[in-house]
Amino acid sequence: MYDLIYTDEAKSNLAKLKKQGQIKKLKKIKNTLDKLKENPRHPSLKTHKYQTFKDYSSAEIFEAYVENNTPGAYRVFWHYGPEKDYITILAITPHP
């Protein structure tokens, strides 16, 4: 099981959704984060490497699905670390 660390950007993403009253979206995100903590390769996450992410060119960045086949489907961007058994959540945003 992994511990999650959130960047300021990820915290801001969550705060914005909470302020907007996006309860259903937040529940889906929580479900995704719970699965990520247990198994980053859980099939429903459809985890895969992401090619580019600002300010993180040296780390392997991954993308996990919150939603699929939905306009503006949300994704969680993350990487392993900073230490063993930790995952850093970089951002939680709609798919471009």
Number of folded domains in the chain?
1
| Interacting residues of 5 by C-beta distance below 8 A, sequence separation 6+ | 82, 86, 87, 88, 89
Q: What is the CA radius of gyration of the chain?
A: 13
| Containing structural domain, residue 13 | 3-94
What CATH number has the domain bearing residue 84? 3.30.2310.20
- Selection from 40, 44, 42, 24 nearest residue 77 by Cα: 40
57-90: per-residue pLDDT in tens? 567 899 999 998 888 899 999 999 999 999 999 9
Q: Are 64 and 46 in contact (CB under 8 A)?
A: yes
- pTM comes to 0.89
Going by pLDDT thresholds of 50, 70 and 90, the confidence category of residue 51 is confident
CA quadruple 82, 85, 89, 94: dihedral sign = positive
